[in-house]
């Protein structure tokens, strides 16, 4: 059985008094490839941010077994990244080398070649000098993957890596993810397309703020589990509607 690289013990993350992730326990095995799925508002992105230390835990504990911060590669949602910053594709990818050279170190000749190879690996050879502001959504996502390739992390966390990109780019990025998996890296990705998860991700975490199921994908994505997740999401909507319901007209009620 593979060793655990990341474990969660009764993890709750809340915004104010409203839990976004509630009492989640489980573990990502070393070398596993896991799809994280659930309804909108289920806490999927919140979970990744908590693992990265960007959000505090209300309760529980997250253990990163033997991992340094530099060993974790994180790709946030594309919408959270400011693409107006004046930086080229090559320089953006080179930021992935900070693990090796430090925040203020310069790339060696070998590092420069590695950055070029990472750009080529995602299908953007010749784009090194192009500003990121001129890229399409799919091209920019390739740049972010190239930065991860150069970083060479042991644990890769991806938040909606296939959102708003074309089918060819999705296929190319899935190939990179599977190469990482084949190299023994641990990969977890928030994915909306259930069919993609069934086809490409051996393990799945189904969450609806509270955990629904976690394990082999064929077992987790059962009709009953998916129905339960939908029912839990509908319960949030009902609660929200009650909170928003206006006070009755007292004159009419009387």
Instruction: Note whether 159 and 248 are same-domain residues.
Output: yes
pLDDT digits (tens, 9 = 90+) for 233-252: 988 765 544 344 444 433 33
Query: Among the three residues 130, 152, 174, which one is the final residue of a domain in this structure?
Result: 152
pLDDT digits (tens, 9 = 90+) for 19-30: 899 999 999 999
Spatial neighbors of 132 by CB under 8 A, at least 6 apart, are: 83, 85, 87, 88, 89, 92, 140, 143
Domain-located, residue 136:
yes
Instruction: Name which of 217, 232, 207, 240 is nearest 46 in CA terms.
Output: 207
Q: What average pLDDT score do residues 59-88 get?
A: 91
Predicted pLDDT at 169: 96
Predicted pLDDT at 82: 86
Instruction: Note whether 12 and 127 are same-domain residues.
Output: no
pLDDT digits (tens, 9 = 90+) for 94-135: 999 866 555 445 667 787 899 999 999 999 999 999 999 999
Domain-located, residue 73:
no
Tell me if the pTM is above 0.85.
yes
Return the exposure string of 11-41: e unless at least 16 CB atoms fall within 10 Å of the residue's CB, then b: bbbbeeeebbbbebebbbbbbbbbbbbbbee
Q: What's the mean pLDDT when you consider all of the chain? A: 89
8 Å CB contact between 8 and 27:
yes
Query: Among the three residues 152, 181, 209, which one is the final residue of a domain in this structure?
Result: 152
Range of the structural domain that residue 206 is part of: 4-67+154-253
Number of domains in the chain: 2
Tokens of 250: 């007292």
Share of the chain above pLDDT 90, in %: 76
**DSSP letter for each residue of 58-116:** SEEEEEETT--GGGEEEE--GGGS-TTS--BHHHHHHGGGHHHH-TTPPPPHHHHHHHH
* Spatial distance between the Cα atoms of 232 and 249, rounded to a whole number of angstroms: 31
Q: Is the pLDDT of residue 187 over 90?
A: yes
Instruction: Note whether 185 and 239 are same-domain residues.
Output: yes
Query: Among the three residues 97, 130, 152, which one is the final residue of a domain in this structure?
Result: 152
């Amino acid at each position: 059985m593979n060793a655990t690289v990341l474990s969660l013990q009764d993890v709750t993350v809340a915004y104010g008094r409203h839990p976004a992730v509630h009492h989640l326990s489980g573990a990502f095995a070393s070398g596993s490839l896991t799809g994280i799925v659930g309804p909108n508002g289920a806490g999927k992105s919140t979970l990744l941010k908590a693992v990265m230390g960007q959000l505090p835990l209300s309760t529980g504990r997250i253990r990163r077994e033997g991992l340094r911060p530099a060993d974790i590669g994180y790709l946030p949602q594309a919408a959270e990244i400011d693409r107006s910053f004046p930086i080229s594709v090559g320089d953006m990818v080179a930021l992935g080398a900070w693990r090796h050279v430090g925040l203020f170190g310069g790339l060696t000749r070998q590092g420069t070649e590695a950055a070029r190879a990472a750009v080529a690996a995602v299908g953007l050879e010749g784009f090194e000098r192009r500003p990121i502001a001129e890229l399409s959504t799919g091209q920019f996502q390739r740049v972010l993957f190239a930065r991860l390739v150069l970083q060479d992390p042991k644990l890769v966390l991806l938040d909606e890596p296939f959102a708003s990109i074309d089918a060819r780019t999705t296929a190319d990025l899935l190939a990179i993810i599977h190469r990482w998996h084949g190299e023994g890296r641990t990969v977890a990705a928030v994915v909306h397309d259930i069919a993609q998860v069934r086809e490409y991700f051996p393990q799945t975490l189904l969450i609806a703020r509270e955990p629904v199921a976690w394990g082999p994908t064929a077992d987790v994505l059962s009709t009953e589990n998916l129905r339960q997740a939908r029912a839990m999401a509908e319960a949030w909507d009902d609660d929200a509607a009650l909170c928003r319901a206006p006070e009755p007209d007292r004159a009419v009620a009387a």
